[in-house]
Chain A
């Protein structure tokens, strides 16, 4: 149900909008300055103002993980933080996880493993799953398959590709430990 729309007589105006802020973000190693309102979430800043649409909006409420990005190497939900709060942080999105040196068409090992293991159907959750898996590996807490499942539980896959997602992550973790 929509809340009642407020109307104002011509001489009583709502308070003017606060000024747009100049917000400096460092995304995938690049500094950018955006002119945005303070209520712009990091997710909306990436998608609507920087054309970085790899990061997906699923629920916009912290419940699905599609919007997962890395802040200083740690995975977070970009829908529940304001862009302006992330000034000074190193933000990494799915567009920035592949190695940048040499061959431009290189993939991150997790990206390769997701393809090899067919770890998706529609692919909507995939950027979030991969960024979350990068965060999981940075954290270094997952030792068993059960740990991977538990520590990937912040990423919902509506297509149910879970078994292949876990296989892909386990594969890369084993390569690292080999």
Chain B
């Protein structure tokens, strides 16, 4: 790890001011991604601002009937929160599908959104990588790209966003509350992460120095018909090859609302409003799920080692929707 200075505060405004005073400073929360990347010399902040003592550690009701997750609530406390389990079980399921119990006890909800890609070349400072070092090239394009994107990539970067939690938050249409030198604002989840384009070094639309204070879940939580289905190379403690967050509302056998978000396939959780709209008013059956899957994967492009993910993703979508609609067992 590089040398850095350390600062701790229990006040949000002090943390933001401290961060603004040093452009190469970083906040540290659970530390599970930042310290890992510092040990690999991928990140080298000169100043760390410990935000774990900020009063952003509660889960509370919002006036609009939704739920507010403080940015410093741990992933474990979120997944096991009674309100989350009752009203947003999709979110609980997605969090518990990720990392390990130890990591979930450390990782925070704000930090989870800002975790960086697991692209091997991003981690390996001996290889070119546009995300780590803009303009150096992308080693994954013609390298080993099994875990890489099949949707929304560019020829500058084909990395994926590795979070499970974010896939559920995308399906639930959460909002991210942030505060910075220019005041507070709210970012809809769909606009929070971005596609790589020709600036893959930028993962999201947070302004430099902005602090995430909370994640707001809207009142609508899809507690009845939902499924987070994650496929990976081993049964647990591994990142997703492909994952699906599926949420439905149904009357009788007819779908009245649908949300589908994909993980492991793009630089951000992947949604396609057309695919969701196509399900509304239709009976919940395999044929209609298949049609939605085709729409979601429209334009998908495979690379040497990941082309299998296109067909895999379609099958996972069909199964997850079947499980959400309770047509298929979940185990």
Q: Which residues of chain A have a CB within 8 Å of any CB of chain B?
A: 1, 3, 17-18, 21, 37-39, 41, 60-62, 65, 68, 71, 74-77, 80-82, 84-85, 132, 135-136, 139, 141, 150-151, 153-155
Contact = CB atoms under 8 A, between A and B. Distances in A.
A82 B236 contact: no
B93 to A, nearest CB: 13
B193 to A, nearest CB: 22
B31 A39 contact: no
A37 B106 CA distance: 22
10 contacts: A17-B3, A62-B36, A68-B102, A75-B101, A81-B35, A85-B8, A85-B31, A85-B50, A154-B103, A155-B100
- Give the interface size class of chain B: 20 to 34
B6 interface: yes
Contacts of B39: 60-61
Choose among A37, A41, A80, A136 the residue with the greatest number of B CB atoms under 10 Å from its CB.
Answer: A80
Choose among B3, B38, B76 the residue with the greatest number of A CB atoms under 10 Å from its CB.
Answer: B3
Nearest to B38: A39
B101 A154 contact: yes
Contacts of B126: 1
Contacts of B76: 74
A39 B3 contact: yes
B31 A82 contact: yes
Interface in B81-119: 99-103, 105-106
A176 to B, nearest CB: 19
B64 to A, nearest CB: 31
A1 B38 CA distance: 17
B41 interface: yes
Nearest to B238: A153
Given A18-B3, A61-B39, A82-B6, 7 more contacts: A1-B126, A18-B5, A39-B3, A62-B36, A135-B101, A135-B102, A151-B101
Contact of A84 (B6, B102, B103, B105): B6
B35 A154 contact: no
Contacts of B101: 75, 132, 135-136, 139, 151, 153-154
A96 B50 CA distance: 27
B105 A153 contact: no
Choose among A61, A135, A136 the residue with the greatest number of B CB atoms under 10 Å from its CB.
Answer: A61
B106 A76 contact: yes
Given A65-B100, A75-B101, A18 B36 contact: no
B36 A80 contact: yes
Interface of B: 1-6, 8, 28, 30-32, 35-36, 38-39, 41, 48, 50, 52, 76, 80, 99-103, 105-106, 125-126, 235-237
A154 B106 contact: no
Nearest to B7: A38
B31 A154 contact: no
A150 B230 CA distance: 14
A154 B237 contact: yes
Given A3-B125, A62-B36, A75 B105 contact: yes
A80 B6 contact: no
Contacts of B38: 39
Given A76-B102, A141-B80, A3 B41 contact: yes
Contacts of B236: 150, 153
Contact of B105 (A17, A39, A76, A85): A76
Given A81-B31, A135-B101, A38 B106 contact: no
A76 to B, nearest CB: 5
A80 B5 contact: no
A21 B102 contact: no
A74 B3 contact: no
A81 B106 contact: yes
B102 A39 contact: no
The 5 lowest CB-CB distance pairs between A and B, nearest first, are: A154-B100, A38-B6, A153-B236, A1-B126, A39-B1
A65 B31 contact: no
